[in-house]
RNA sequence: UGGGGAGUCGUCUAAUGGCAAGACUACGGGCUCUGGAUCCGUCUAUCGGGGUUCGAAUCCCUGCUCCCCAGCCA
């Protein structure tokens, strides 16, 4: 399946697995699972869990299941199930025939609940939600027993069956475990097992009107699937005693729950609640908006599955709260795209130049190497003519120190073409530059024997008449602060939204791009990596998304200069 | 102030009583028909205080800081 063995490093979970294997625990099986709740789209944080779980199974010749934890029909939707399946597959993982749903186990889960009631370890409680909260106590004060705690087993069984039969209203009763209302671990204070919810489930429809709570369902799902190592995030650490308690009381197979720190990423948010809010309030165009840290957003942005996997492997697995630097993700996508994309030329901020000594009407087809990193990528031709566009920022009338692009009297090379010299600037009456007149040196055509004259700068360009228009969407970080939750008193994370996270350009691109297909990726020379948008691009109107800009040491120099002037 | 966790370069992760290592970032330089890539180099870390030991990031004691838990969410 996946060949990435590059950054496989040790971590504490692998040590546990290796020790278990050495002991012959679980018949030396390794069985993991990725258990999403279908209440939102998957994001890069889920990718970390996916890479971990599937990666471990792969490394130890085990298996990893894809299992939907669909126990709360109030929040879950079929659309989310489909998107999750698509995203896990796109990331490159295969669960073969092991696609499971918690809802497929509802019968078994219910049988076990009756078993727990019969053993006297669970009871039906008539307290309201508010009362249960009051009886639970606080962090420092113990709770007190529910007045219904000592109901006879037969009465509990009868009430549970009637709950299931739909005799009672939502919220009127719950099934609770009988553990210890004085436990310092709040999870052990007679936790709820089943609640009444007369809500249609995406899969079981109206078969059920009682639904299991997470703690009851999850351990049993793991047990049923004979999971050996049940990996989850840190906030479930103090649920582990309950996870174990249920399985021990029931006398069923007991997987081992192991917790690791979830991923946080700088300059973005990774909570389903916040992401949902961005979608619902229209701060982005949808779950797959290229600015979103969702798998579908990253995909549309132009990220590759490989780059995401490499990133997840490199951030590692530990128990420390962390905020990974988004620059690391950007590093991996650049690394990948550098090797695999063809270079093309696109001018985002056109400035017209006219080469006065080049024949009017002549069009030359010049050869260009597609990818200097990949000889097999071949060559293409691009049309050169008398009138061209270059980038506005590649010309300075009064060049400052270290600027080695076009300026009055200066020479630069046009990539794959000739060396040109700036001869004259034409302005309108307002002083705006309209066009620049240049001369070219016919001896300097790229590839020619005498073309090796050195000039300091090389510019990308397109022909005025032989280029095509394209919409280019420049995406930037969604938030202006590394930690979006760092806000003024009274404000929330949305106050840190980056107003410039999307800039739309009307660009000129080389004509060969007419054949680009949705999803195709390119390097726009000297600008960055771009892909053809999979939703909005059409043959009539090409739309490119900027995946990530190139590293730009010139931009750094400029920033430094700007700072020094202040 | 109950319980559960965690503290190592700016960031992430190693080192499992024996030279604190790597990646990213930042910075400097070589090379370059992409100010890209690449190559070379530099900076920066064991939360504090005691103790054990020839030797402590690691073991012990103590203090501090941060995160999670009072859903009929997961």
- In whole angstroms, B34 C1' to A523 CA is 10
- In whole angstroms, B46 C1' to A5 CA is 30
Closest CA to the C1' of B8: that residue is A320
Pairing of strands A229-233, A256-260: parallel
pLDDT at A1: 34
Whole-number Å distance between alpha carbons of A23 and A45: 32
pLDDT at A8: 56
pLDDT band at A491 (very low <50, low <70, confident <90, very high): confident
pLDDT at A566: 58
- Residues 179-238 of chain A in contact with strand B via CB under 7 angstroms: 184-187, 191-192, 195-197, 211-214, 217-218, 234-238
Per residue in A408-429, pLDDT (tens digit) is 999 999 999 999 999 999 999 9
Q: What is the average pLDDT value for chain A, to the nearest integer? A: 96
Residue A505 has pLDDT above 50, yes or no: yes
Q: Which residues of A carry out catalysis?
A: 37, 262, 272
One domain for residues A294 and A353: no
Chain CA centroid to CA A245, Å: 35
One domain for residues A443 and A372: yes
- In whole angstroms, B29 C1' to A10 CA is 35
Say how many domains are in chain A: 3
From the alpha carbon of A260, which nucleotide's C1' atom is closest? B5
pTM, two decimal places: 0.96
- In whole angstroms, B40 C1' to A389 CA is 37
One domain for residues A154 and A216: yes
A463 touches strand B (CB under 7 A): no
One domain for residues A320 and A409: no
- In whole angstroms, B40 C1' to A368 CA is 30
C-alpha to C-alpha distances, A309 to A2, A10, A261, A315, A550, nearest whole angstrom: 10, 16, 17, 10, 21
One domain for residues A407 and A304: no
Q: Predicted ipTM?
A: 0.97
Query: Which nucleotides of strand B are protein-proximal, with an atom < 7 A from a CB?
Result: 1-8, 10-16, 23-27, 33-38, 66-74
One domain for residues A48 and A84: yes
User: What range does the domain containing A427 cover?
Assistant: 346-460
One domain for residues A453 and A505: no
Per residue in A286-318, pLDDT (tens digit) is 999 999 999 999 999 999 999 999 999 999 999
Tokens of A91: 């990331």
Whole-number Å distance between alpha carbons of A220 and A188: 17
From the alpha carbon of A196, which nucleotide's C1' atom is closest? B72
Residue A86 has pLDDT above 70, yes or no: yes
**Which residues does A215 contact at the CB level (< 8 Å), separation at least 6?**
A187, A191, A193, A239, A242, A243, A246
Average pLDDT over residues A400-405: 89
CATH number of domain containing A449: 2.40.240.10
- In whole angstroms, B11 C1' to A8 CA is 20
From the alpha carbon of A130, which nucleotide's C1' atom is closest? B72
Q: What is the largest CA-CA distance in chain A?
A: 102
Residue A367 has pLDDT above 80, yes or no: yes
Average pLDDT over residues A159-164: 98
pLDDT band at A269 (very low <50, low <70, confident <90, very high): very high
- Tell me, yes or no, whether A394 lies in a domain: yes
One domain for residues A489 and A449: no
Lowest mean pLDDT among A119-123, A544-548, A560-564: A560-564
Per residue in A202-232, pLDDT (tens digit) is 999 999 999 999 999 999 999 999 999 999 9
Q: What is the DSSP string of A308-351?
A: HHHHHHHH---SS---B-HHHHHHHHHHHHHHHPEEE-EESSEE
pLDDT band at A490 (very low <50, low <70, confident <90, very high): confident
One domain for residues A396 and A408: yes
Residue A3 has pLDDT above 90, yes or no: no
Per residue in A72-84, pLDDT (tens digit) is 999 999 999 999 9
Residue A2 has pLDDT above 70, yes or no: no
From the alpha carbon of A403, which nucleotide's C1' atom is closest? B35
- Tell me, yes or no, whether A466 lies in a domain: no
Whole-number Å distance between alpha carbons of A54 and A32: 7
A134 touches strand B (CB under 7 A): no
Chain CA centroid to CA A53, Å: 17
A19 touches strand B (CB under 7 A): no
Residue A338 has pLDDT above 60, yes or no: yes
């Amino acid at each position: 399946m996946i060949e990435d063995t590059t950054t496989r490093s040790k971590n504490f979970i692998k040590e546990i697995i290796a020790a278990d294997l050495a002991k012959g625990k679980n018949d030396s099986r390794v069985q993991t699972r990725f258990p999403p709740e279908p209440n939102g789209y998957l994001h890069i944080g889920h990718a970390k869990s996916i890479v971990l779980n599937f990666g471990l199974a792969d490394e130890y010749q085990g298996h990893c299941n894809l299992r939907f934890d669909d126990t709360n029909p109030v929040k879950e939707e079929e659309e989310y199930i489909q998107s999750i399946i698509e995203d896990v597959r796109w990331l490159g993982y295969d669960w073969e025939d092991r696609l499971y749903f918690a809802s497929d186990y509802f019968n078994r889960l219910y049988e076990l609940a009756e078993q727990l009631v019969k053993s006297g370890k669970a009871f039906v409680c008539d307290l309201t939600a508010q009362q249960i909260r009051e009886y639970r106590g606080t962090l420092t004060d113990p709770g007190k027993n529910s007045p219904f705690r000592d109901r006879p087993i037969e009465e509990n069984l009868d009430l549970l069956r009637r709950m299931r039969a739909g005799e009672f209203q939502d919220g009127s009763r719950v099934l609770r475990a009988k553990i210890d209302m004085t436990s310092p671990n709040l999870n052990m204070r007679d936790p709820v097992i089943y609640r009444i919810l007369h809500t249609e489930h995406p899969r079981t429809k109206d078969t059920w009107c009682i639904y299991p709570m997470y703690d009851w369902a999850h351990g049993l799902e793991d047990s049923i699937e004979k999971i050996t190592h049940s990996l989850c995030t840190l906030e479930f650490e103090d649920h582990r005693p309950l996870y174990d308690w249920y399985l021990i009381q029931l006398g069923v197979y007991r997987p081992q729950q192991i917790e690791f720190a979830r991923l946080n990423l700088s300059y973005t948010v990774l909570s389903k609640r916040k992401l949902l809010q961005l979608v619902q309030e229209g701060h982005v165009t949808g779950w797959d908006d290229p600015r979103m840290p969702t798998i579908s957003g990253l995909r549309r942005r132009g990220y590759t599955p490989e780059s995401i996997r490499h990133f997840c492997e490199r951030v590692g697995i530990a128990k420390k709260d962390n905020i990974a630097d988004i620059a690391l993700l950007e590093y991996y996508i650049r690394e990948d795209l550098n090797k695999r994309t063809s270079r093309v030329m696109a001018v985002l901020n056109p400035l017209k130049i006219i080469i006065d000594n080049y024949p009017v009407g002549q069009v030359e087809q010049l050869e260009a190497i597609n990818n200097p990193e990949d000889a097999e990528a071949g060559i293409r031709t691009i049309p050169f003519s008398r009138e061209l566009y270059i980038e506005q920022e590649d010309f300075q009338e009064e060049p400052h120190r270290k600027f080695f692009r076009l300026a009055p009297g200066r020479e630069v090379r046009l990539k794959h073409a000739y060396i040109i010299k700036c001869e004259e600037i034409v302005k309108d009456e307002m002083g705006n530059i309209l066009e620049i007149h240049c001369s070219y040196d016919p001896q300097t055509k790229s590839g020619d024997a005498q073309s090796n004259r050195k000039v300091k700068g090389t510019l990308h360009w397109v022909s005025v008449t032989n280029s095509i228009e394209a919409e280019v969407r420049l995406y930037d970080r969604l938030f202006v602060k590394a930690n979006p939750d760092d806000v003024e008193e009274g404000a929330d994370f949305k106050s840190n939204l980056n107003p410039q996270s999307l800039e739309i350009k009307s660009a000129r691109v080389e004509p060969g791009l007419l054949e680009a297909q949705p999803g195709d990726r390119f390097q726009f020379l000297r600008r960055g990596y771009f892909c053809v948008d999979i939703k909005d691009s059409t043959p009539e109107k090409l739309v490119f998304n900027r995946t990530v800009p190139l590293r730009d040491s010139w931009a750094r120099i400029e920033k430094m200069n700007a700072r020094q002037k202040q």
